């Protein structure tokens, strides 16, 4: 069973590390935009009531995305967290009927339907309030300052927080009510719950769920999508 949910794909960022005039979510892999690989997953799930895409006010590329009744574009904020909040504000102000809110990076095109469905089912069947996909750290971690190693960090119980991140509507509302001023220091929505009495569960996902950050990540994503038989 999957409870009704809505999705936010924050797409207002500039992606300066990608070193491209074209925002990375609009770059193509085999003639299909990166964001469209994500959209296909959510649109085809019946329980997904809407997909909100916060974009920058001067975004002219989103018009290339094929229109769909589930898609809604809103103006994003000055940082990722503010863009997600604007998407949230739109979704709660409209007449959508849903229990949960899912946030996903639009530059993680290699998330599979199988993994997404497993996450949604686990969330609904276990009455979680917050659940994120994550991966345990396998590399050695160093604390460095001015290119000088200060110490080695114990990696036991250290995980990389990925997306999707899934929350009950009431839990995310509580998180925003408790952090109503400056959101710029929050790099993901799970961290909004750090100081609240709310448990955030982790679900280990495949390492294929990469985030495209640099140009070379495009080639890796293409290889993964090919291995997943989603492209030729």
Tens of pLDDT, residues 156-167 = 999 999 999 999
* pLDDT tens per residue across span 204-216: 999 999 999 999 9
Percent of the chain scoring above 70 in pLDDT? 99
Average pLDDT over every residue of 47-69: 96
Q: How confident is the model at residue 194 (pLDDT cuts 50, 70, 90)?
A: very high
* pLDDT tens per residue across span 81-108: 999 999 999 999 988 999 999 999 999 9
- Say yes or no to pLDDT of 148 above 80: yes
Give pairs for 11-14: CB < 8 Å, separation 24+. Answer: 11/35, 11/53, 11/54, 11/55, 11/59, 11/62, 11/76, 11/83, 11/106, 12/54, 12/55, 12/56, 12/59, 12/75, 12/76, 12/77, 12/80, 12/83, 13/56, 13/80, 13/83, 14/56
Walk me through the domains of the chain, giving residue ranges and CATH numbers.
Answer: 5-227 (3.90.550.10)
pTM of the predicted protein model: 0.96
């Amino acid at each position: 069973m999957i409870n009704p949910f809505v999705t936010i794909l924050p797409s207002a960022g500039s992606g300066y590390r990608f070193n491209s005039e074209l925002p990375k979510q609009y770059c193509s892999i085999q003639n299909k935009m990166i964001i469209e690989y994500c959209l296909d997953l959510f649109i085809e799930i019946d329980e997904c009531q809407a997909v909100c895409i916060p974009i920058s006010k001067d975004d002219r590329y989103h018009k290339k995305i094929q229109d769909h009744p589930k898609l809604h574009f809103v103006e994003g904020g000055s940082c990722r967290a503010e863009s997600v909040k604007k998407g949230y504000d739109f979704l709660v102000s409209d007449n959508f009927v849903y229990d949960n809110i899912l946030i996903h990076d639009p530059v993680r095109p290699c998330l599979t339907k199988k993994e997404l469905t497993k996450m949604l089912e686990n969330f609904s069947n276990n009455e979680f309030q917050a659940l994120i996909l994550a991966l345990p750290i396998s590399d050695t971690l160093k604390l460095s300052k001015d290119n000088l190693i200060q110490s080695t960090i114990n990696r036991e119980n250290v995980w990389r927080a990925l997306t999707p991140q899934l929350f009950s509507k009431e839990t995310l509302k509580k998180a925003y009510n408790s952090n109503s001023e400056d959101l710029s220091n929050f790099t993901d929505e799970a961290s909004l719950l750090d100081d609240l009495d709310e448990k955030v569960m982790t679900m280990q996902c495949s390492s294929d769920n990469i985030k495209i950050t640099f140009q070379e990540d495009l080639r890796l994503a293409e290889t993964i999508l090919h291995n997943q038989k989603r492209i030729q």
